[in-house]
Structure 1
Amino acid sequence: MEQNFAIGAQWVLLALIATVLSIRLGISVALMEIAVGVIGGNAIQLEITPWVTFLAGFGAVVLTFLAGAEIDPDSLKGNLKQSLVIGFLSFLLPFAGGMLFAKYVFGWDSNAAKIAGIALSTTSVAVVYAVMVESGLSASRLGQAILAACFVTDLGTVLALGLLFTGFSLKVVWFTAVMIVAVFAITPLAAKVFKWYGGRVSEPEIKFIFLVLLALAYLAVISGSEAVLPAYIIGMAMARFFKQYKETLTKMRAIVFAVFTPFYFIKAGVLVSVSALYTMSGAILVFLLVKMAAKFIGVLPATRWFQYEPRTGVYTTLLMSTGLTFGTISALYGLTNQYIDGSQYSVLVATVILSAVVPTMIAQKWFFPLEAVSEPPRAMAAMVIKEREAD
C-alpha cells in the first residue's frame, strides 16, 4: 500500500509542476504534462501501474465526453458540411500517405504499413479539447467546427482499423444496437436523475454520467471497439441537454483536469523513450513530416474553400495534425497482434506523441486566432496577446 502512495505522490508532483510551468510559460497544460512525463519516464523511471493506466484511460473517456457535450447542436448543424469535409480529408490523406511511405520507403510489410497509416491518420480530440478550453475557443464557432471535425477523423480511424483488421463480429452488431438505444434513452433518463437528485453536495448526477461512460466503455472494449468512441457519441447526444446544466459540465471539467487528465497526458510522455528518439530519430522525423504534410495538403485547401481567414486556416490545420489517443491505441494493437515489431511500435508511438506537441505549440504561439475567441480570453489567449504587444 505504501508503494502506491509513493507512486501517486510522484505522479501528482509532476502534474503540479506541469501546471505551474504551464501558467508561467503560457503553454497548454496538456503539452507540459506530456513533457514532464518524458522527463519522469526517462530520468526517474516513473512507474505505470494498473491503477495509473485505469485513471489515464478514464480521463481520456471523460475528456472525450466533455468535448462532445460542449458541441452546440445548432452550431454543429451550421458547420456540418465543413466539419465533414475537413474531418474526412484529415483522415484520408495521412492514412494513405503514411501507409504508402511505410511500405515503399521504409520497406514495411503490408500489415505494418496499414497500422502506420491508421496511427498517423488520427487527430487527438483530447489534446484539441484541452487546448480549446484553456484558450477560450471551445464555445466559439471555430472551436465547435474543429471539435466536430476531430470526431469525423477519429471515426474514420476506428472504421479503418475495424475493416482492415478486427472485422465486424456479432459483438459489434450488438454494441451498435446498444449505442443506438443509449443515444435515444440517455437524455430522458438523465433528465429524471437530474430533476430528482440534482443539486446535492454528493453530486449524484455526475456519478450517474460516470456510470454510463464506464458501462459503455466496457461494452465497447469487449466488442472490439475503443472506450473513447461511445463517450464522444453520448456527449454529442447530450449536448442540447447540457445547455441547461452548464454548471454540471464545469464541475466535471474541474474534476477531470485536476484528477484524471494529468495521468493521461503524463503517461503519454512516459511512453516516449529518449534513447529511441535518438537511435530512430530519422524515421520518427520523416513520419512526423509525412503526417503534417498530408494534413496540410488535405485540410488547408478545405479551410480556404470554406473561406477561413488564412491565419485561422493554418491554426485549424495544425490542430487537426495532432494525434494521441487513437494513434497510440492503433500502434499498440499492431504490436499486440504482431503486425509490427517493437522498433516499429517505438517509431509510431514517438511520432504520434510528438504530433501532439509540435503542431499544437506552433499553432498556439504563432497562429492563435484572437478574433475567434467568443468569451474573455483565458490564460493562453492572454499570454498570446501579451507576447504580441511585447513584439
Structure 2
Amino acid sequence: MENVWLVSAVWLGLALLASVISIRVAMSVALVEIMVGALAGNTIGLQLTEWVNFLAGFGAILLTFLAGTEIDGRVIRMHFWSSMSIGVVGFLAPYLGVLVYARYGIDWTWPQAQIAGISLSTTSVAVVYAVMVETGFNKTEIGKVILAACFINDLGTVLALGVVFAHFDWWLALFGAVTAAALWMLPRFAPWFFTRVGHRVSEPETKFISLVLLGLGGLASIAGSEAVLPAYLVGMALAPAFLADPELPHRMRIIAFTILTPFYFLKAGSLVDFQAVLAAAGLIVVFLALKMVTKFVGILPLTHAFRFERREGMYTTLLMSTGLTFGTISALFGLTNGIIDQRQYTILVTAVIGSAVVPTLIAQRWFQPAFKPIEGDFAPGKPSRKEA
C-alpha cells in the first residue's frame, strides 16, 4: 500500500536537490527539475499517483496563469505586430516542417504526422515564464514581448489540435460562452473583491483565483480542450490588477514555485524512458533539430525586421524554440486516442522535453541580453525600441 507521506518526501526531496543544483550551476531550476526527474524516473522509479498528477496539473495551470498576468497592455500595444508575427510564424513553421517530414520522410500516417507537427509546434510558457522570473526578465520589455508571442504560438497549437481532432458539441459551446463571460466580468469584479477582502493571512484573493482557474479548467476538460488555455486568458484579463498590486503575484509565485511547479517539471522528466530514448535516439535528434531549425528560419528574420538587437533576437528565437506543456499534452492526446503508438509517443515526448532544455540552456549561457527594466524604457527622454 502506498505511503503517501514517504512518497511526498521523495518528490519534495528531489525538488530541494534540484534547487540546490540550480544555485550551484547557475541554471534555471525548471530545467534542473526536468533532468532530475528523468534521472529519478529511470533509477528509483517515481510513482505517478493521482494526487501527484493533480499537483502537477495545478502547477501547470497556476504557472500559465501567472505568465498571463505578466502581459503588459502598453508593451503589447507598442509591439503588437512583432508579438503577433513571431507567435504565428513560431507555430506555423515547425508545424508544417515536422508534418511534412513525418508524413513523407518516415512514412507516418496523416493523423500521426499531424500529431507530430502539433506536438513540436509549441513553445513552453511554463519554462519561459520560470526562466523570466528567475532572471527578472519578466519585468523587461523584451520579456513581455516574448511571453505574448509564446501565448500566440501556443494558442495556434491548441486551435490546431481542436480543429483537427476535437468534437464540436454543446459542451464546447458552453465552455466558450462561460469563458467569454468570465473574461468580461473578472477585470471588473476582481479589483473590487481584492479591495474589500484586503491582504489577509487566509489569502482570499488566491483562493478566489484558484476557484476560477479550477472551474474553467474543469469545463475545458469536459469540452475536450485543455485546462491551461483558460488559465492564460484569465491571467491576461487580470494583468492590470496584478500590475497594480505587485505583492499579490509575489505571494502566488511563492505558492507555485515552492509546492506545485516542482511536481510538474519532475513529472515531465520522469516520462522519459532512457531505454526507449536510446533505441530511437537518431529520430529524436532529427525531430528536435527540425523543430529548432524551422523556428530559427521563421523567427530570426522577423526579429531583424522588427529591429531587435542581435542578442535579443537570438534570445527570443531560442526561447520560442522551447516546448513542454502543450507539446506533451498533444502527444498524450495522440496516444490515449490511439492515433500514435507507445514508441511514437516516446519519440515525440523526448523531443519535446529536449526542446525545453537545449534551447533554454543555450539562451541563458550565451545569448542573454542586457537587462532593461520597463521603468527605464518608458521613462521620459528614453525612447523605447519602435517597430519598423
TM-score w.r.t. the length of structure 2 is: 0.95
Partner amino acid for 2:28?
A: S
Deviates most, 177-186 or 81-90 = 177-186
- Cα distance between partner residues in 1 of 2:114 and 2:23: 40
Structure 1 residue 311 displacement after superposition: 1.5
Partner amino acid for 1:166?
A: A
Indicate if the aligned counterparts of 1:332 and 1:345 stay in contact, CA closer than 8 A.
yes
- Counterpart of 1:146 in structure 2 is 146
Structure 1 residue 163 displacement after superposition: 1.1
- Counterpart of 1:387 in structure 2 is none
Indicate if the aligned counterparts of 1:331 and 1:345 stay in contact, CA closer than 8 A.
yes
Q: Once superposed, what is the RMSD of the aligned Cα atoms?
A: 1.3
Moved over 4 A (4+): 373-376
TM-score w.r.t. the length of structure 1 is: 0.94
Structure 1 residue 244 displacement after superposition: 2.0
- Cα distance between partner residues in 2 of 1:168 and 1:147: 29
1:42 corresponds to 2:42: yes
Q: Provide structure 2 residue ranges, at least 5 long, that are not aligned to the other structure.
A: 377-388
Matches within 5 A, 1:26-65: 26-65=26-65
- Counterpart of 1:228 in structure 2 is 228
- Counterpart of 2:316 in structure 1 is 316
Structure 1 residue 40 displacement after superposition: 0.7
Partner amino acid for 2:298?
A: G
Structure 1 residue 375 displacement after superposition: 8.5
- Counterpart of 1:384 in structure 2 is none
Indicate if the aligned counterparts of 1:137 and 1:374 stay in contact, CA closer than 8 A.
no
1:129 corresponds to 2:119: no
- Cα distance between partner residues in 2 of 1:39 and 1:106: 30
Structure 1 residue 374 displacement after superposition: 5.4
Partner amino acid for 1:74?
A: R
Deviates most, 57-66 or 158-167 = 158-167
After superposition, give the CA deviation of every residue in 1:39-85 in whole Å (9 maximum; x if it has no partner): 11001011111100000000000000000111111111112110000
Indicate if the aligned counterparts of 2:140 and 2:371 stay in contact, CA closer than 8 A.
no
After superposition, give the CA deviation of every residue in 1:97-155 in whole Å (9 maximum; x if it has no partner): 11111111111000000000000000000000000011110011100000000000000
1:22 corresponds to 2:22: yes
Indicate if the aligned counterparts of 1:88 and 1:153 stay in contact, CA closer than 8 A.
yes
- Counterpart of 2:116 in structure 1 is 116
- Cα distance between partner residues in 1 of 2:114 and 2:243: 40
Indicate if the aligned counterparts of 1:94 and 1:291 stay in contact, CA closer than 8 A.
yes
Distance change (3 Å), C-alpha of 1:2 and 1:120: closer
For the residue of structure 2 that corresponds to 1:339, the secondary structure is coil
Indicate if the aligned counterparts of 1:161 and 1:330 stay in contact, CA closer than 8 A.
yes
- Cα distance between partner residues in 1 of 2:372 and 2:359: 19
- Counterpart of 1:383 in structure 2 is none
For the residue of structure 2 that corresponds to 1:147, the secondary structure is helix
Partner amino acid for 2:146?
A: I
- Counterpart of 1:178 in structure 2 is 178
- Cα distance between partner residues in 1 of 2:8 and 2:18: 15
For the residue of structure 1 that corresponds to 2:61, the secondary structure is helix
Partner amino acid for 2:150?
A: C
For the residue of structure 2 that corresponds to 1:243, the secondary structure is helix
- Cα distance between partner residues in 1 of 2:333 and 2:370: 39
- Cα distance between partner residues in 2 of 1:199 and 1:372: 31
After superposition, give the CA deviation of every residue in 1:236-288 in whole Å (9 maximum; x if it has no partner): 01111112221011000011000100000000000011111111000000000
- Counterpart of 1:302 in structure 2 is 302
After superposition, give the CA deviation of every residue in 1:352-382 in whole Å (9 maximum; x if it has no partner): 0010000000000010102445589xxxxxx
Give the number of equivalent residue pairs: 376
- Cα distance between partner residues in 1 of 2:336 and 2:373: 43
- Counterpart of 1:281 in structure 2 is 281
- Cα distance between partner residues in 2 of 1:5 and 1:278: 34
- Cα distance between partner residues in 2 of 1:289 and 1:45: 29
Indicate if the aligned counterparts of 2:137 and 2:371 stay in contact, CA closer than 8 A.
no
Q: Provide structure 1 residue ranges, at least 5 long, that are not aligned to the other structure.
A: 377-391
Indicate if the aligned counterparts of 1:90 and 1:121 stay in contact, CA closer than 8 A.
yes
Matches within 5 A, 1:209-224: 209-224=209-224
- Cα distance between partner residues in 2 of 1:375 and 1:29: 27
- Counterpart of 1:158 in structure 2 is 158
- Counterpart of 1:325 in structure 2 is 325
Indicate if the aligned counterparts of 1:94 and 1:121 stay in contact, CA closer than 8 A.
yes
- Cα distance between partner residues in 2 of 1:373 and 1:76: 15
Indicate if the aligned counterparts of 1:136 and 1:375 stay in contact, CA closer than 8 A.
no
Matches within 5 A, 1:245-260: 245-260=245-260
For the residue of structure 2 that corresponds to 1:174, the secondary structure is helix
